[in-house]
Structure 1
Amino acid sequence: MRFGLPADARVVSCYEAGRDGFWLHRALWAMGVENAVVDSSSIEVNRRQRRAKTDRLDARKLVGMLFRWLWGDEKVWRVVRVPSVEEEDRRQLHRELVTARRDRARLVNRIKALLFGQGIRLSELKGLPDHVAELRQWNGEALPSGLQQRVLREWQKVEERTEQIGILLKERRERLRTGEDAGSECARRLCQLRGIGENAAWLFSLEFFSWRKFRNRREVGGLSGLVGTPSDSGETKRELGISKAGNRWVRGLAVEIAWGWLRYQPASELSQWYQRRFGQGSSRMRKVGIVALARKLLIALWRYSETGVVPAGAVLKS
């Protein structure tokens, strides 16, 4: 054997989570190598203003931290929970939907920018191909032919993205209605709550609840990045805001859903708690409070998805 090791020698490796995804992790385990995927942001670094950095130094540092981790120091870094192939594949639908919506918004903004550059401001682009020849520049003249053709080509891309979004939404609706996997079942349960729509239920389920195993509410809040970041030293106590760790899609949607929860579930204990604590405060205090409500709501939704216990005072859809 290489390095003079016996055939049954234990081999352990690690690499930083990133662009490589999880195929390398699965390939290493298939070859009998015990591998760990590490959150790169959890790796401690030298805080000197100037520090040497080479691939050799980085590799040595990872090996040293790997030894510490194997010896029982679990806090030396954070190991990423690797989803199964099926769990990872289920996330492709809504991620493609997010990408398609962003592409469409980018194309619409580009068309508006092209027209704005000629002194034309349109609030709505509906039916643009039928009226592009009627548009007039600042001096009353028609758009140049080259610009008209470019606008029409960009609009064709918008229509392609719109068609793609419609197909994806139809497929998501079908999976939500008939899917038998854990993600679809969790999303169906979340959809029963008033104030939780298909988009939120699907994303919370596929990105957060259905394939991760949370042991307590602190893990839910920590992974969503909605927990505080204390900065205490001696008698000085400061709060640096939320940690913003974990899944940014879940974190952003949780804050958005929290505003909707106040509207659609005003009689729930969470909404009443928010009104008592922040309802009469300033605009800034209400924004601070909505983050706290988002964290509490996410924990309540996790308990509901796991046990079926409806959040106190919440109402189900009729």
Structure 2
Amino acid sequence: MSMTQIVPHGKDTAIQGELYMSFELGDKSWKLTASDGQRGPSRYSVHAGDTAAVLDCVRRARERCQLGPQARVHSCCEAGRDGWWLHRWLTGQGIDNIVVDSASIEVNRRARRAKTDRLDGDKLLVMLRRYHAGERVWSVLHEPTPEQEDARRTHRELARLTQERTAHMNRIGSLLVLHNLRVPVIVGGRDWATWWERHREQVPPVLRGEIERESARLALVKQQLKALEAARRQELAEGKHPLVAQLARLRAIGHKGAWVLVKEVFGWRRFANRRELAGCLGLTPTPYDSGGSQIEQGISKAGNKRARAMLVELA
């Protein structure tokens, strides 16, 4: 007989010989909830990132559930700021881990509901057991390789720097309006230094210093943007990204749009049909058809927001 045995247990089905564990990941501490489906859950708290303590919790949970060291361990955690390192480490320890989309976890629909790390851990544990019993209870994310994950950093940093550049430009313009100075040129552009030199004496000294420091930060952001864009153009010219070049051959799709779509979606994900693709990008419809109400609420916006924004822009 195998170590995994399914036996009736009241109205539920209990799975013997396997340990289930949920992770509630916080900034300073992690809450672990574990059970074999036969006993009540055991709860542990470890410092965030303490992998040795996690292994010790697994050992203690096995002992409490009277499971052998070879008993299979299933775990789950929500996608978030910790990225994929924990998933890869757990997999390397022989633990069957999954990363789930937080938005797909069912919640109580009352206007006010209790929410604590303990309740969240218990909920994840129950849903993990249901998932391994064959129910489709949530959305499981696909893991990119470390190389694929790292390849997404370039365009994400470019997007962040572009937002910072806009913020600095708007800030400088707003500070100048305090003294009725309207900038007729692009802040930080080719004619900005000349314009500012002619008008800087009209600004009080403290505010003048603030604007000049803001201008220095703007210049640094523009310098980093220029360097990143030049490096990306060089890689494309050297043929290091053939999928990007192939997609860019389509009409109305340039290298910037092709880069985002390939690195975020098409370069590492595989789709069986267009419905899967639309679901990944959050482009599926969300009808509301209940009783006498028939409303189309628009696209779900539940997928990759960067790729979706690029597709909407290209459209």
Give the TM-score, by structure 1 length. 0.75
| Pairwise CA distance, 1:235 | 5.0
Distance 1:235 1:119 in 2: 56
Deviation of 1:179 (Å): 4.3
Question: CA separation in 1, counterparts of 2:255 and 2:310?
Answer: 12
CA distance in 1 between partners of 2:85 and 2:122 (Å): 24
- The structure-2 alpha-carbon separation of the partners of 1:95 and 1:84, relative to structure 1 and needing over 3 Å to count, comes to same
Deviations 1:193-214 (A, max 9, x none): 2211111010011011111111
| Closer, same or farther: CA 72–237 of 1 in aligned 2, 3 Å | same
Distance in 1 (alpha carbons) for counterparts of 2:209 and 2:291: 67
Structure 1 residues 271-292: Cα deviation after superposition (integer angstroms, max 9, x where no partner): xxxxxxxxxxxxxxxxxxxxxx
Partner residue in 1 for 2:72: 10
Partner of 1:305: none
Distance in 1 (CA, whole Å) between partners of 2:208 and 2:224 is: 25
Aligned to 1:134: 198
**Alignment equivalent of 1:218, drawn from 275, 283, 287:** 275
* Greater percentage in helix: 1
- The answer to whether 1:172 aligns with 2:232 is yes
Aligned to 2:180: 119
Equivalences for 1:96-107 in 2 at 5 Å? 96-107=157-168
Q: The residue matched to 1:244 in structure 2 has which SS?
A: coil
Equivalence for 2:155: 94
C-alpha separation in 2, matches of 1:133 and 1:237:
61
Count of residue pairs the alignment pairs up: 250
Give 1:1-318 correspondences, 5 Å limit: 2=60, 3=63, 4-73=66-135, 75-124=136-185, 125=187, 126=189, 127-135=191-199, 142-180=202-240, 184-258=241-315
Q: Secondary structure of the residue that 1:50 maps to in structure 2? A: coil
Distance 1:204 1:257 in 2: 11
Whole-angstrom distance in 1 between the partners of 2:161 and 2:272: 35
Partners of 2:303 and 2:110 in 1: CA distance: 27
Higher strand fraction: Structure 1 or Structure 2?
Answer: 2
Once residues 18 and 54 of structure 1 are traced to their aligned partners in structure 2, the CA distance between those partners, rounded to angstroms, is 17
* Greater relative contact order structure (CA < 8 Å, 6+ sep): 1
Q: Provide the rounded CA distance (Å) in 2 between the counterparts of 1:250 and 1:108.
A: 26
Q: 1: distance between equivalents of 2:246 and 2:91?
A: 35
1:179–1:23 CA distance, 2 compared to 1 (3 A): farther
Gaps of 5+ in 1: 259-318
Q: What is the deviation of 1:154?
A: 1.2
Q: 1:221 to 1:123 in 2, by over 3 A?
A: farther
Counterpart CA distance in 2 for 1:190 and 1:77 is 32
Per-residue deviation, residues 148-201 of structure 1 (Å, max 9, x unmatched)? 222122111111111111111111112223244xxx221110111221111101
Pairwise CA distance, 1:229: 0.2
**Which runs of at least 4 in structure 1 moved beyond 4 Å after TM superposition?**
none
Gaps of 5+ in 2: 1-58
> What's the RMSD between the two structures over aligned residues?
1.6
| Letter aligned with residue 97 of structure 2 | N
- Between the aligned partners of 1:193 and 1:50, the Cα distance in structure 2 is 50
Residue identity (%): 45
Q: CA deviation at 1:49?
A: 2.1
**Kept after mapping to 2: 8 A contact 1:133/1:143:** no
